[in-house]
């Protein structure tokens, strides 16, 4: 392999073995590296080419071994000039079981003949347990069990943290001394039930109301999108005409105790533009179930009724935006046990209503 002239190796490395023919060859100790001639081997010192003594130390032998190892790597393969041999290298890319050959064209599937192993997940899959989804009337959609247990827990804990801080829960009252049978906290802007308008300050502690958490807004938008998908199944046309989209900037949070209630009313304190466009109200129910009445008149006897359970989302907009609605009763001992165990939520119902001013 190292005949009299220069030999070129792959990688554009050229070595001339004549450069190493200096001095008496017998002065070099024989090398016994496998697959290599021990003749005509020389090494280079810092001061030029010098003959070395037979008693060279082991470090010099190691240097020569490294050189020959490098020479091995640069040499042409042993099968050079012979028929090409197929070399297969399996891919390490996830999801691909078949490998591609490097030299040849034949493909080999290393998974052939091997049993397929189905891995075991020790945790149950997290699936959204949708209940009945239906359009109650044009622009009014009910998404049963839409909010997952984890999301409900997060909502309760977030409301608890905000509720005990500035601008938190309070029980609204009127000048005559009457009080609502629920506790209220507002996010974004504060709603004054006596003035029936929104303010930037809390009526009790004069604080600015907390901002609406981002995850609440994302859940509202997702619910509206899913409501649109439901409406499209039975409606030909622009779904925005039936139920417009909206970006919430107000959230009124009501907590009803087991004897709490709210009479039939309309949500009409938003801006004239918002009401004219029919921008929807999106309602989250957490905790105990409640009876919910809705209708075109302020008459409980003529109103329709539906039960809202923990995790339900109710949306009403479009031509249903001005519907009369109310909560005549809360059903005791109906909250999910896992929710109560994780949050220690008081007996009652937490209701969040989102709207755009």
pLDDT recorded at residue 269: 92
28 pLDDT above the threshold of 70: no
Q: What percent of the chain has pLDDT over 70?
A: 66
Q: Which residue has the higher pLDDT, 82 or 119?
A: 119
What mean pLDDT comes out for the span 124-134?
71
- Residue 265 marked ligand-binding: yes
Q: What percent of the chain has pLDDT over 90?
A: 53
pLDDT recorded at residue 226: 96
- Residue 301 marked ligand-binding: no
Question: Taking all residues of the chain, what is their mean pLDDT, rounded to a whole number?
Answer: 78
Q: Which residue has the higher pLDDT, 123 or 169?
A: 169
CB 184 within 8 A of CB 169: yes
Across-strand partners of 282?
315, 354
Residue 329: HSE in the Cβ half-sphere, 13 Å Cα cutoff: 8
7 pLDDT above the threshold of 50: no
Domains of the chain: 6-74 (no CATH), 133-355 (2.60.120.590)
What mean pLDDT comes out for the span 239-264?
94
3-class secondary-structure state, position 267:
coil
CB 292 within 8 A of CB 305: yes
pLDDT recorded at residue 34: 44
Across-strand partners of 262?
327
- pTM for the full predicted model: 0.65
Q: pLDDT digit string (tens) for 148-174? A: 999 999 999 999 999 999 999 998 887
Gap between the Cα atoms of 42 and 50, Å rounded: 9
55 pLDDT above the threshold of 80: no
Q: Which residue has the higher pLDDT, 236 or 171?
A: 171
H or E stretch at 349: strand 348-355
Q: Which residue has the higher pLDDT, 158 or 99?
A: 158
Gap between the Cα atoms of 245 and 147, Å rounded: 19
pLDDT recorded at residue 197: 87
CB 341 within 8 A of CB 312: no
198 pLDDT above the threshold of 80: yes
Gap between the Cα atoms of 206 and 202, Å rounded: 5
pLDDT recorded at residue 310: 98
pLDDT recorded at residue 127: 61
Cα–Cα distances in Å, from 72 out to 6, 17, 43, 158, 300? 16, 14, 16, 68, 95
């Amino acid at each position: 392999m190292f005949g009299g002239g220069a030999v070129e190796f792959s990688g554009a490395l050229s070595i001339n073995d004549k450069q190493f023919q200096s001095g008496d060859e017998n002065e070099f100790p024989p090398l016994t590296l496998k697959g290599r001639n021990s003749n005509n081997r020389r090494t280079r010192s810092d001061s030029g080419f010098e003959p070395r003594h037979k008693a060279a130390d082991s470090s010099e032998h190691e240097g020569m071994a490294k050189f020959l190892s490098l020479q091995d790597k640069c040499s042409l393969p042993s099968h050079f000039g012979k028929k090409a041999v197929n070399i297969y290298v399996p891919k390490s890319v996830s999801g691909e079981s078949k490998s591609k050959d490097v030299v040849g064209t034949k493909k080999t599937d290393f998974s052939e003949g091997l049993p397929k192993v189905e891995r075991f997940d020790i945790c149950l899959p997290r699936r959204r347990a949708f209940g009945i989804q239906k359009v109650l009337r044009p622009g009014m959609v009910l998404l049963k069990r839409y909010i997952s247990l984890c999301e409900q827990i997060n909502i309760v804990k977030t409301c608890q943290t905000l509720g005990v801080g500035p601008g938190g829960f309070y029980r609204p009252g009127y000048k005559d001394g009457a009080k609502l049978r629920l506790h209220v906290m507002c996010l974004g802007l504060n709603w004054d039930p006596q003035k029936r308008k929104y303010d930037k300050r809390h009526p009790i502690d004069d604080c600015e109301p907390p901002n609406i958490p981002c995850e609440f807004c994302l859940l509202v938008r997702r619910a509206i999108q899913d409501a649109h998908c439901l409406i499209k199944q039975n409606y030909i046309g622009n779904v925005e005409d039936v139920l417009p989209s909206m970006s919430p900037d107000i959230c009124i949070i009501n907590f009803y105790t087991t004897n709490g209630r709210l009479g039939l009313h309309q949500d009409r304190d938003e801006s004239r533009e918002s009401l004219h466009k029919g921008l929807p109200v999106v309602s989250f129910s957490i905790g105990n179930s409640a009876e919910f009445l809705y209708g075109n008149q302020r008459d409980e006897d003529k109103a329709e009724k539906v039960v809202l359970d923990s995790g339900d989302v109710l949306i009403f907009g479009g031509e249903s935006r001005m519907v009369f609605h109310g909560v005549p009763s809360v059903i005791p001992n109906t909250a999910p046990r896992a929710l109560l165990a994780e949050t220690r939520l008081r007996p009652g119902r937490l209701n969040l209503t989102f709207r755009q001013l």
